[in-house]
Structure 1
Amino acid sequence: MVLLALGRRTNSSTSDTKESPVVKRKVLPVEYKAGDDFDFCSGASHSEGILQVFNEFRDCRLFTDVVISVQGREFPCHRAVLCACSSYFKAMFCNDHRESREMLVEINGIEAKAMEAFLNYVYTGRAKITTENVQFLFETSNLFQITTLRDACAKFLENQLDPCNCVGIQRFADAHALKQLASRCKNYALANFSEVSNHEEFLDLRIEELKDYIGREDLFVSKEEIVFEAVMKWVYHNVDQRRPMLNSLLQHVRLPLLHPNYFVQTVEGDELIQNAPECYQLLHEARRYHVLGNEMMSPRTRPRRSTGYSEVIVVVGGCERVGGFNLPYNDCYDPVTGEWKSLSKLPEFTKSEYAVCALRNDILVSGGRINSRDVWLYNSQLNLWIKVASLVKGRWRHKMGVLLGKVYAVGGYDGQSRLSSVECYDSFSNRWTEVAPLKEAVSSPAVASCSGKLYVIGGGPDDETCSDKVQCYDPNTNAWLLRANIPIAKRCITAVSLNNMIYVCGGLTQNLYCYDPAQDYWILVCQTLAKQESCGMSVANGKVYILGGQGENGEASDAIICFDPATGVLTGDRGMPRPICYHGCVTIHRYCDKTKP
C-alpha cells in the first residue's frame, strides 16, 4: 500500500485567531498494483538535443575551457565533450599531463580541415566524407581513436575502388593495418588486372608487389599476353633500374601458354629480352612446350583458370570389377572444383586392358583384347575420336609413355607370351616403328618418362612371378639399361612423373614410392588409404592424383587420393561417379566457359 499525501489551504472565517498559512494535509490510502511504474525515455532526441546545445555553446565560445590549435587555426572546445568521445583526449585531460592545465593545446601531424570535420562529428554525430578529405579524416579519427568515424572512412574508400586508385588505396590500407580493406583492394586489382595495368599507379609498384600479382592463380586475365605486356610496360617505365629484374619477373609469366605467333614475333623479337641471356632458359622452355605440349610440365605450363582453360584429369574406360562389363565412359574431372563432365564415349568400349596416354593435348588408346592393333586418338578440341595408324604388333596389358613428342607402346601380352617388343609412334608421319626391345619382357608394368628417358618399372614376366626391375630407355642410343630395383616386385602398378621424380603406386600395396633418376635411388613417400592395383594415376596442378583401382576383394573403388609433394600431405578427395579399375588416366587442358569473379 502506498500513502499519497493530498492537501489544500484552509480559510475559516469563524476562527478568532489569525489563520496560519500552513497547508493542512490529509493522507489517503492508495492501492499499489505491480507493473504500474512508468519508465520514461525521450529516446535519442534527448542526447541529440544536448549535443546540439553544446555545439551552439562551441560556436558562441560559451563555457569552452580549451582551445585546440592545428596548423595555426584555433578550435574552442569543451574538455568534457572531447573526453566523452575520445579516449585520446580523456588520457590527455584526465591525467596529470601538461595539457590538462593549459588553455591552448597544439596538435601536430594533422590537417586543420580534417580537425574541423572531426569536431563536427564529435559535436553532431555527422561527418561529410569526400574524396578530398577521406585520407586526412581517417588519420585524424585513427589518431583520436574514434573507431566509428575511422571505419566509415574505410568503408568510403572501399566504395571508391577503381582501376586507377585500387593500388594506392591498398598501400594506404596496409600502412594502417586495415586488413579487410587491403583484401578488398587486392581482390579488386586481381579481378581487374587488365585495366589496372594501364594506370600510373601500376607503374609505381614495387617488384615484390608486382610478383605477388602476376604469381597468383586467381589473377583474372583473358589471355596470358596481358600479363606479359604488363610486365614489360613496368620494366620499360624505368628500364635502367628495372632491367636486372626482368628474368625474375618472367619466371611468373606463363610464356609457354602464349600464342606461338605472338611468342616469336613479340617476345623473342623484344630487344630487351634478346639482350638478357639469363632469360634464354625460359624462352627454351616455351619453345619446347610448343612442340611437346603437356609432356612439358612446370608451374608456367598450368593455365590460369580465368583464361577459360584448366587442367583436368580424363578417366578413360575401365570396368567395375574383374570379369565385369567394360565401360564406354570418357569423363573429365576438375580437381579444383570437383566437377565431372562427360566427353565423347570410347568407340570400341568392348575392348579391355588397353593402354592410354596423352599426346600434347590429345589422348591415345592402343591395343586391347579385341582388335589388339587398333589405335584411336581423342581430339580434345573437337571432342571426337579418330582412328590412326595401327600398331605393328597387337597387344594388351601393355603401357604407353610419351617421350620427346613421341609415343612408346611397351611390352604387354599377345595371348601367348609376354612381349619385349617396343614400338614408337610419330604423329607427324602417323606411323609406328619398332625400337630396341626390353631387356625383360613384362606385362602390366608402370611406365613414365622423366629427364629425357623412358622408365619401365616392375610388371609380370609370366603368370606366376612379378619383376622388381627398372628398365631405362635412352632414345639417343636406342638402348635399354637397368637401374636401381624398385623395393617391391609387383605388376598392375602405375607411375607418373613430377618435378623430375617418378611416383609409383598400386600392386595391392598401400605404399607410394618415389624414384630419383638423377641419384638412382628409391624412397617410400607415404602410405595410401587402401591397398589397390590397376588404379589410375595422373598429375594436375602440381599434385599427384590416384583414382579408383581394384581392391583385394576384386571390387573396384571410387576413391580419389591426392598427394602434394610440396607439403608431403596425402588427402582423400571427392569420390568418382562410379567405382572403376583397369582404366586410363591422363591430364589435358580443357576449355570451359569462364566467369569473372
Structure 2
Amino acid sequence: MVLILGRRLNHENSGGAPESPAIKRKVFEMDSKNLNEVYNFSSGSSHAETVLQVFNEFRDSRLFTDVIISVQGREFPCHRAVLSASSSYFRAMFCNDHRESQEMLVEINGIQADAMDTFLQYVYTGRACINTNNVQFLFETSSLFHIVTLRDACAKFLEEQLDPCNCLGIQRFADAHSLKQLASRCRCFALQNFPEVAQHEEFLDLRKDELEEYLGSDELSVGREEFVFEAVMRWVYHNVEYRRPVLKDLLQHVRLPLLHPNYFVQTVEGDQLIQNAPECYQLLHEARRYHVLGNEMMSPRTRPRRSTGFSEVIVVVGGCERVGGFNLPYTECYDPVTGEWKSLAKHPEYTKSEYAVCALRNDILVSVGGYDGQCCLSNVEVYDSFSNRWTEVTPMEEAVYSPAVTSCAGKLFVIGGQPNESTCSNKVQCFDPETDSWQLKACVPFTKPNISAVSLNNLIYVCGGLTKAIYCYDPSHDHWMHVVSTFNKQESCGISVCNGKIYILGGRGENGEASDNILSYDPASGIITGVAAMPRPITYHGCVTIQRFSEKHRKP
C-alpha cells in the first residue's frame, strides 16, 4: 500500500477532464536585483533547549532509548546519541569496537547512583542541583565522564563553602584531583583563619608535612605567635605516643623568640613534654638569647609574621653620593616584601663618615671610630645596654680601619681592613667574649679594601672590594668558599640580612661613581637577583635590619 500525500485538487468549474498531475504553481515575479538576497533565520538557543527537553521527556517515558546505564543496581534508560554528544567518555564507548557499543545494558562502577541521576539531569537539561551532600560524588562523576563545565561548577561550589571547619578537607580533596586554583584558595583561607582552623577536628588529622607547610609560612595570620605554639601542642598531644618524636621538627617553625617572655617561661618551658625533650633545648636557648639581645641574635624564628603588623625592614643610614662628596643626612627604610621606601628621622651627626651601624634589641646604634686621624686603632670596647656603660677588652691582634665586622655563633669577626693607607689586610680576627681573647682564622681569599660582611645561619657572607663575587666563611670548619658571582664590581656596599635573604645595597663601581642598585641573594636557592632601586645612588653608608610596625595595621 502506498500513501501519497499531496494537495487536494479542485475540479469545480473545470468543465472537463482533470488537470495533469503536474500542478502548475504561480511563481511570484521578483525584481532581478533581489534575486541574490538571503534571509538567514535562527530561533536561537530556544530550539536546542526544546529538542533537549523533548529528549528528556523521551528518557522519562523510555521512548527511543537504546541503552540502559546501570549504577549500583539502579537502571537509567538513555539515548546513546545524547550521551555521545555530551561526553567523550561515552562517545569512545559507543563509537568504537567496545563490547558496550553492542550491549543494551552497560554497568558502570566506582560512582554513586544519585550522582549519576544528577549527572544525567545535566546532560539532558543543562541544569544540575549541586549541594553539600552530592558535590564530591558529582565532581568525581563529571570528571570520569569528562564533563568539564559541570566539574568546574562543583569546584566553584566547594570554593564558596570554605569554612574553618572544612577548608583543610577541601584542600586535600583539591590536591588529590589536581585542582590547583581551589587548593590555593583553601590554603589562603586556612592561612588567614589559622586560629579558628586549628580548633577543628580536621586540623588534628593533618599530616606532619602539611602542618609544617602552614607553620613555616610568613603569611600565617595570627595576632600573637602564642596561637601557633598552642596549635602545635594541641596537634602533638592529640596522638602524643606517635607524635612526640616530631616535636622538635614542629617547634623549629614556631617563632619562640617572639613569644612574650612571661608566656615563654610559664607555658613553654613549663610544659612537661618539652621539659622531657632535650632535643628542643637549643630552640629554647635561642629564644632566651633573643629576649636579652634582641635583633643582634637573628634566625628564621626571629622574623615576625606579616599578620602581626611588624615586618623586617632595612634601614640605610647616611653615606655619600661619591668619593669626596658631601655626606648625606638621610635615614630611610626599605621593605623588601612591598618594595617601598620610607623616610625616617635625619641623622644628627651626618657630617661624620665611615661609622659602624648595628641593631640592639631593635634600637639602631651608630658608632664612629677605627681611625683617629693619625693612625689605626686596635682598641676594642664593649657596650652594656643595661648599665649604659662602655668597657675596654683585649685589643685586636692587628690594628686596622674600615674592616668588615660581624657577629656569628657567639663570636665577633673582624675581616680585612687597612693597617694604613697603602696596604690592605686579608686577616680574619675572631674575638671570643667568653674568654676575652682573639684568634686569627683562615684568611679571606682576596686582599681588598672596602669590603662588607653579614652573618646568616651561622655562616658569614662577604662581598665588595671590587671582587664581583660573594664569599662564604664557615666558622665551624674555618673554611672559605666562593658562593655566587654578582653582576657588577662594587665596593663600600651596604649589606644586611632581611627575611632570610642577603641584600646588597648601593656601593661604588670601578669608576668611583655611586650606585643605586639592590641585589638579593637567597642562600636556600643559591639565586641572586636585582630588585627595586634605592632612592638615590649612595656609598659609604650603614645598613641594618630592624622590625618595624606598619601604619597600615594600626587600628583607627
> TM-score normalised to the size of structure 2?
0.92
For 1:185 and 1:574, the matched residues in 2 are separated by 31
Q: Distance in 1 between matches of 2:209 and 2:28?
A: 86
Q: Are the structure 2 counterparts of residues 546 and 50 from structure 1 closer, same or farther at C-alpha, using a change threshold of 3 Å? A: same
Q: Do the aligned residues in 1 keep the contact of 2:430 with 2:438 (CA within 8 Å)?
A: yes
Work out whether residues 539 and 545 of structure 1, in 8 Å CA contact, stay in contact via their aligned partners in 2: yes
What's the counterpart of residue 395 of structure 2?
A: 437
- Contact 1:10–1:24 at 8 Å: present in 2 too? no
Question: Pairwise mapping of residues 413-562 of structure 1 onto structure 2 (< 5 A)?
Answer: 413-562=371-520
* Structure 1 residue 571 displacement after superposition: 1.9
Equivalent residue for 1:272? 273
Cross-structure match for 2:359: 358
Contact 1:353–1:582 (CA under 8 A) maintained in structure 2? yes
Contact 1:450 1:497 in 2 (8 A): yes
In structure 2, distance between residues paired with 1:152 and 1:533 = 58
Q: 1:365 to 1:208 in 2, by over 3 A?
A: same
Task: Give, as a single letter, the amino acid of the residue that structure 1 aligns with 2:19.
Answer: S
Match of 2:333 in 1: 332
Counterpart for residue 19 of structure 2:
20
Could you tell me how far apart the structure 2 residues matched to 1:27 and 1:353 are?
A: 105
Contact 1:305 1:594 in 2 (8 A): no
| Corresponding position: 1:84 with 2:42 | no
Superposition deviation, residue 265 in structure 1: 0.9
Q: 1:87-106 maps to which residues of 2 (within 5 A)?
A: 87-106=88-107
Query: Structure 1 244/481 Cα, relative in aligned 2: closer, same or farther at 3 Å?
Result: closer
Q: CA deviation at 1:501?
A: 2.1
Give secondary structure in 2 for the equivalent of 1:532: coil
| Contact 1:84–1:90 (CA under 8 A) maintained in structure 2 | yes
CA deviation string 1:177-228 (max 9, x = no partner): 2222112111111121111111111111111211111122222222211111
> Structure 1 residues 105 and 570 mapped into 2: Cα distance closer, same or farther (>3 Å)?
closer
Structure 1: which 5+ runs fail to align?
Answer: 1-7, 368-395, 397-411
Report the Cα distance in structure 2 between the residues aligned to 1:21 and 1:270, rounded to whole angstroms: 111
Summarize the alignment of residues 29-178 of structure 1 with structure 2, pairs less than 5 Å apart.
30=30, 31=32, 33=34, 36-178=37-179
Shift of 1:288: 1.5
Give 1:210's aligned residue. 211
Query: 1:318-337: CA deviations, max 9, x gaps?
Result: 12223322222111111121
Secondary structure of 1:531 counterpart: coil
2:385 and 2:203 mapped to 1: Cα distance?
Answer: 45
SS of aligned partner of 2:47: helix
Alignment-mate amino acid for residue 547 of structure 1: L
Following the alignment from structure 1 to structure 2, what is the Cα–Cα distance between the partners of residues 119 and 534? Answer: 72
| Structure 2 equivalent of residue 235 of structure 1 | 236
Contact 1:11 1:19 in 2 (8 A): no
Q: TM-score, normalised by structure 1?
A: 0.86
Q: Which amino acid aligns with 1:340?
A: W
* More off after superposition, 266-275 vs 340-349: 340-349
SS at match of 2:217: coil
Judged with a 3 Å threshold, the aligned counterparts in structure 2 of structure 1 residues 457 and 109 are, in CA distance, closer, same or farther, namely closer
Aligned equivalent of 2:316: 315
Q: In the alignment, is the contact (CA less than 8 A) between 1:460 and 1:467 conserved in 2? A: yes
Task: Please say if residues 545 and 560 of structure 1, whose CA atoms lie closer than 8 Å, have aligned partners that are also in contact.
Answer: yes
Q: Which residue of 2 aligns with 1:400?
A: none
What's the CA shift string for 1:114-167, capped at 9, x where partnerless? 222112112111111111111122122222222211111111111111111111
Residues 364-403 of structure 1 mapped to structure 2, 5 A cutoff: 364-367=365-368, 396=369
Counterpart selection for 2:529 from 571, 581, 586: 571
The letter of the residue matching 2:366 is V
Structure 1 residue 10 displacement after superposition: 9.5
Code of the residue aligned with 1:582 in structure 2: it is: Y
C-alpha deviation, 1:507, in angstroms: 2.8
Q: How big is each residue's C-alpha offset from its partner over 1:395-436, in whole Å with a ceiling of 9 and x where there is no partner?
A: x3xxxxxxxxxxxxxxx1112221111111111111111111
In structure 2, distance between residues paired with 1:527 and 1:110: 57
- Distance of 1:115 and 1:567 partners within structure 2: 48
- Cα offsets for 1:535-578 (capped at 9, x unmatched): 21111122221111233343322111222222332222211111
Q: CA deviation at 1:230?
A: 0.8
Structure 1 position 589 matched with structure 2 position 541: no
Q: Which amino acid aligns with 1:204?
A: D
Per the TM alignment, residue 313 of structure 1 is displaced from its structure 2 partner at its CA by: 0.9
Letter in 1 for 2:173: F
* Residues 501-526 of structure 1 deviation map (CA, whole Å, 9 limit, x = unaligned): 22222234333322222222333333
Aligned equivalents of 1:477 and 1:24: distance in 2? 125
SS in 2 for 1:440: coil
SS of the aligned residue for 2:313 comes to strand
Amino acid corresponding to residue 509 of structure 1 in structure 2: T
3-state SS in 1 of match to 2:342 = strand
| Shift in CA distance, 534/24, structure 1 to aligned 2, threshold 3 Å | closer
Displacement of 1:229 in angstroms is 0.9
| Structure 1 position 88, deviation (Å) | 2.2
8 Å CA contact 2:354, 2:402 repeated in 1:
no
Decide whether the 8 Å contact of 1:536 with 1:548 is kept in 2.
yes
**SS at structure 1 position matched to 2:488:** strand
State whether residues 328 and 346 of structure 1, in contact with CA within 8 Å, keep that contact through their aligned partners in structure 2: yes
Deviations 1:329-376 (A, max 9, x none): 111111121111122222222222322211221111123xxxxxxxxx
- Give distance in 2, aligned partners of 1:331 and 1:490: 29
SS in 2 for 1:530: coil
Higher strand content, 1 or 2: 1
Partner amino acid for 2:220? L
Q: Whole-Å Cα distance in 2 between the matches of residues 34 and 350 of structure 1?
A: 94
Q: Shift in Å at residue 35 of structure 1?
A: 5.2
Q: Alpha-carbon deviation of 1:449?
A: 1.7
One-letter code aligned to 1:549: G
Q: For the residues of structure 1 that align with 2:497 and 2:311, how far apart are their CA atoms?
A: 13
Over 3 Å counting, the alpha-carbon distance change for 1:177 and 1:573 in structure 2 is closer
**1:474 Cα offset (Å):** 2.1
- Taking a change above 3 Å as real, the CA distance of residues 499 and 24 of structure 1, as seen in their structure-2 partners, is closer
Say which SS state the counterpart of residue 338 (structure 2) adopts.
coil
Q: Deviations over 1:77-103 (max 9, x none)?
A: 222222222222223333343333333
The runs of 5 or more residues in structure 2 that have no matched partner are: 1-8
- 8 Å contact from structure 1 (residues 9, 24) kept in 2: no
User: Cα–Cα, structure 1 residues 35 and 424, in superposed 2: closer, same or farther, change >3 Å?
Assistant: farther
AA aligned to 1:220 is S
Cα deviation for residue 593 of structure 1 reads: 4.1
C-alpha displacement at 1:9, in angstroms? 8.3
d(CA) in 1 for partners of 2:158, 2:289 = 47
